[in-house]
Structure 1
Amino acid sequence: MRIKKFSVACSSSTTDPLLVKAARGDPVSRPLAWMMHQAGRYMAVYRKLAEKHPSFRERYETTDLIVEISLQPWETFRPDGVIIFSDILTPLPAFGVPFNIEEVRGPVIHSPMHSEDCLKALHPIDLEKLHFVGESLKILRQEVGDHAAVLGFVGAPWTIATYIVEGGTTRTYTNIKSMCHTSPN
C-alpha cells in the first residue's frame, strides 16, 4: 500500500488576527487574551437580552441573537478571540435528534436511543438546518475584521453520543458504556 504524502500551506498575512498568528506558530507582539466563556453571561447586557429571549435555543439558533451575544464581551473587553454563541448539541436536530433545554436539567432528549436499531434511524446531517451557524460566522468575521479570531465549536462525537444515548447529562454513563460493550458497531 502506498501512502500519499500531503502538506498544508498556510499563508501568513500581516492582517491575520493575533490569535491566528499564534496558533500558526508565528511570533506575536504580546500575550494573547481571550475569554473561555463564550458569552458574557455574567454581563448585565446579556442577562437583559436573556430576559427578553428566555429560550436558550432561540438565542443560539437565531443569527441576529448569536451575533449580538457573541460580540457583547468583544465590544466590552476587545479580547483576541470571539467565540460564537452556540451549544455543543447544536447539530442534533440536523441529523434527526429532537431535544429541549430545560432551565434546571439542561439538555433533555425525551427519546434516547438505547439500541443499534434506534441509531440506524438517524439520517446524514442536513446542513441547511444549521444555516444560522455559517451565517453567524460570516457576520462575526466581518464585524471583528482582523482585530480578533472568530472561534467556533461543537461537541465531540463521544459527547454527542452520550447525550443521544443517555438522554441528557449523566455522571455514570451507564447506558452508553453498556452499549459500547454489547453493540460496539
Structure 2
Amino acid sequence: MAKILLETLKGNPSDRVPFWFMRQAGRYLPEYREVRATAPSFMDFCYSPDKATEVTLQPIRRFGMDGAILFADILVVPDGLGQDVWFEAGVGPRLNPVTDKASYDRLSLGAFHEKVGNVYETLRRLKVELPSDVTLLGFAGAPWTVATYMIEGAGSKDHAAARQMGYGDPELFGKILDLLVDATAEYLIAQIDAGADAVQIFDSWSAAIPEPMFEKWVIEPTRAIVDKVRAKHAETPIIGFPRLAGAMLPEFVARTGVNAVSLDTGVPLSWAAEHVQSQVCVQGNMDPHLVVAGGQPMVDEANRILDKLKGGAHIFNLGHGFVPQTPPENVALLSETIKNFRR
C-alpha cells in the first residue's frame, strides 16, 4: 500500500491529507503510562527496544495515523557523546553542563553508535511491525536546541548560558555546534539505515536568538546536517522544525534545503501558504491545548487548517506536542475529522 505521508513529503500530495502528531506516544495514553512504569528511568525507557517499540505502535493502533515517530529523546545525542544525562521526576532533564574546554574535551563520537545502538534496534523492529502504509519517522534535536541543554545543564526559559557562550566564547561554542552537526548527521544516517522513511530535526528553542545568530546557530548547522544526510541518502525526506521562527521561516527553508517544514501554532496560515507552502510541504499547526478542550471548536479549527492549506502539500500535525492532560477521545475525534476531509 502507498505511504501517503511519505509521498506528500516527496511533493506528491493525495486527496486525503496525511497526519501524525508530535508526542503522539506519550503520557495522555493510559497504555503508555503502564509501559513507562516498568522502566527504572526515562533514559532506560528510551534505550529499551521492547518498550520503545510498543509505545511507538500504541497511537497507530488506536488512531490510525499515517506516520509513526520513533520514541526516543533529543538528549540521546549528548548522552551518546559521553555527557551525563538523567531525568528527575517533576523537574525534567539534567546534564553535567559543558562550560569550558575541559568539559568539552570529555565529549567524543568514539563510542557514540555503541551507546545509542538500541535506538537503531527499535527502528529495525518498527520497520517490521508497522502497517505497510505507515511512514516511519526518525528524528533528532537541532544543534542549537541540544546545545542549550548541554551548556545550561537543564531546560531554560531564556537559554542565557548558551547565548552568553555564543557571544563571549564563540570558538568553544562553535566547536560544540560542529560536534553536534557531525553527531546528529551520523545519528540520522544510522536511523535511515535502520529503516526510517523520513526524519525530522527539532529546533524547539530557535526563537531565543536574534536574526544574525539565527542564521549562524540555526540555519547553517541545519544546512550542514541536511548536506551530510543527503550525501548518504539523497532520496530520504527531511523535515525541519525551527519553532517560533516566524518571518525567518522562508529563509530557513530556502537555505537549509529541507523537504518540509513544521509550522508552530502562531504561524498565520494565509501567510504560510503564500511564503512557505509555495516552496515546500508544510506540516501543522493545531494548538495542542485546543485538543484538550475538544468538541466543536477543535473540529472547526481542524477544518479551517485543512481548508487554508489545501492548495499545496500539507501534513496535518500540531503546532507542538500533545500535553499530558489530552483526553484520548479528543484525539480520536480529531483523527476522524482529518481522515474525512477531502481537498
Q: What TM-score do the two structures reach when normalised by structure 1?
A: 0.85
CA contact (8 A) 2:70 2:136 kept: yes
Q: 1:117 to 1:51 in 2, by over 3 A?
A: closer
What is the alpha-carbon distance in structure 2 between the residues aligned to residue 108 and residue 131 of structure 1? Answer: 22
Written as runs of structure 1 = structure 2, the 5 A alignment for 1:1-185 is: 15-109=1-95, 111-124=96-109, 126-185=112-171
> What SS does the corresponding residue of 2:141 show, helix, strand or coil?
coil
What is the alpha-carbon distance in structure 1 between the residues aligned to residue 106 and residue 26 of structure 2? Answer: 38
What is the alpha-carbon distance in structure 2 between the residues aligned to residue 88 and residue 78 of structure 1? Answer: 25
> What SS does the corresponding residue of 1:74 show, helix, strand or coil?
helix
Matched residue type, 2:100 = S
What is the alpha-carbon distance in structure 2 between the residues aligned to residue 176 and residue 161 of structure 1? Answer: 7
Deviations 1:101-138 (A, max 9, x none): 011111101x3111233212211252111111111111
Q: 1:16 to 1:116 in 2, by over 3 A?
A: farther
Q: Which residue of 1 aligns with 2:194?
A: none
Matched residue type, 1:122 = L
What is the alpha-carbon distance in structure 2 between the residues aligned to residue 121 and residue 90 of structure 1? Answer: 16
CA contact (8 A) 1:38 1:85 kept: no
RMSD: 1.6
Matched residue type, 2:7 = K
Q: 1:169 to 1:27 in 2, by over 3 A?
A: closer
CA contact (8 A) 1:40 1:72 kept: no
More strand by share: 2
Which has the higher mean CA deviation after the structures are superposed, 85-94 or 67-76? 85-94
Structure 2 alignment gaps of length 5 or more: 172-343
Which has the higher mean CA deviation after the structures are superposed, 54-63 or 162-171? 54-63
What is the alpha-carbon distance in structure 2 between the residues aligned to residue 164 and residue 108 of structure 1? Answer: 9
Structure 1 alignment gaps of length 5 or more: 1-14
More helix by share: 2
Which has the higher mean CA deviation after the structures are superposed, 55-64 or 28-37? 28-37
CA contact (8 A) 2:42 2:86 kept: no
What is the alpha-carbon distance in structure 2 between the residues aligned to residue 24 and residue 91 of structure 1? Answer: 27
CA contact (8 A) 2:99 2:151 kept: yes
> What SS does the corresponding residue of 1:146 show, helix, strand or coil?
coil
Matched residue type, 1:73 = P
Q: Report deviation, 1:52.
A: 2.7
Q: What TM-score do the two structures reach when normalised by structure 2?
A: 0.47
> What SS does the corresponding residue of 1:153 show, helix, strand or coil?
strand
Deviations 1:61-117 (A, max 9, x none): 1011110010000111111000111111012221110111011111101x3111233
What is the alpha-carbon distance in structure 2 between the residues aligned to residue 34 and residue 178 of structure 1? Answer: 36
What is the alpha-carbon distance in structure 2 between the residues aligned to residue 121 and residue 45 of structure 1? Answer: 39
CA contact (8 A) 2:85 2:93 kept: yes
Q: 1:27 to 1:164 in 2, by over 3 A?
A: closer
Matched residue type, 1:180 = G
What is the alpha-carbon distance in structure 1 between the residues aligned to residue 2 and residue 118 of structure 2? Answer: 25
Q: Report deviation, 1:54.
A: 5.0
Deviations 1:14-63 (A, max 9, x none): x4411100100113141112122241421111112222335222211101
Aligned-pair identity in percent equals 34
Matched residue type, 1:101 = F
What is the alpha-carbon distance in structure 2 between the residues aligned to residue 154 and residue 166 of structure 1? Answer: 19
What is the alpha-carbon distance in structure 1 between the residues aligned to residue 123 and residue 2 of structure 2? Answer: 16
Q: Which residue of 1 aligns with 2:316?
A: none
What is the alpha-carbon distance in structure 1 between the residues aligned to residue 15 and residue 138 of structure 2? Answer: 24
Q: 1:174 to 1:40 in 2, by over 3 A?
A: closer
Name the count of aligned residue pairs: 170
CA contact (8 A) 2:53 2:71 kept: yes
